[in-house]
Chains A and B, each alone.
Chain A
Amino acid sequence: MSDAPAGRTMYAALELLDRQIVDADGCMAGKVDDLELEASQDSDGLPVVVAILSGPGALAGHLGGRLGRWLASVQRRLREGPDTGPARIAFGAVKRIEDHVEVALPRESLESNRGEQWARDVVVDKIPGAGHAPE
């Protein structure tokens, strides 16, 4: 076993993966479906976490197997425009990691929020009372 490292430590799968993402306004904005690792000169050639991947594209890769392939094919069919890979949140936008992962952006600006916008614009907004909190 290696010597105790300095700085905050974290188990990626246990404490980061599959956790709730909360946006700048406190709204729930998807899950941490995968992490993007990158080794660069800045990091002395060691891999560091550079982005959170969120949304069905990322989840499909994480699930793997038949389930993952199925989800990926559903996602391909629903997608408009060219494949730009799974929705990405740069790790620099992460504010805090506690029980939730807080990001400093509103969810409207996240690519992974497109499904939510679709459900809102196409269905929910057309029903009377969608803009009022329940009383």
Chain B
Amino acid sequence: MRLSELMGHEVVTESGRVLGKVHDVYLVQDGPMLGEWGAALRVHEIIVGKRSYATRLGYDRRDAQVKGPVLVRLLLALRRARHVPWSAIREIGERIIVTDDAAP
């Protein structure tokens, strides 16, 4: 599988609710050892939202490294993305189907 096969795909819940598109993938470095690099980066969550451009620009990051300018943040703040854990994914095809508890 390639990252590009996840990015931009539509995500729906088992009951058919549309959550939006995949805007990013959150990785955690706790996989098996890989040569010089060390522990592999494991896919932990997918970040899903409707038109959540803020994510790609860095405004949605957990550590809040990008703050200003106020104007840009206000324009982008309208659309927040949600983090869906990998374990909630049921099927990856044309659409990505996730469990209902991923969308409270």
Contacts and interface: CB of A to CB of B under 8 A. Distances in A.
Interface of A: 1-2, 5-14, 16-17, 34-40, 42-43, 46-50, 53, 61-62, 64, 90-95, 104
A32 B22 CA distance: 19
Given A5-B28, A13-B23, A93-B35, A37 B40 contact: no
Most buried by B among A17, A40, A42, A48: A48
A14 B1 CA distance: 19
Interface of B: 1-4, 6-8, 23-32, 34-37, 39-45, 47, 55-56, 58, 61-62, 83, 85-86
Contacts, number: 127
Contacts of A17: 3
Nearest to B37: A94
A45 to B, nearest CB: 10
B4 A12 contact: no
Contact of B61 (A11, A42, A49): A11
B2 A95 contact: no
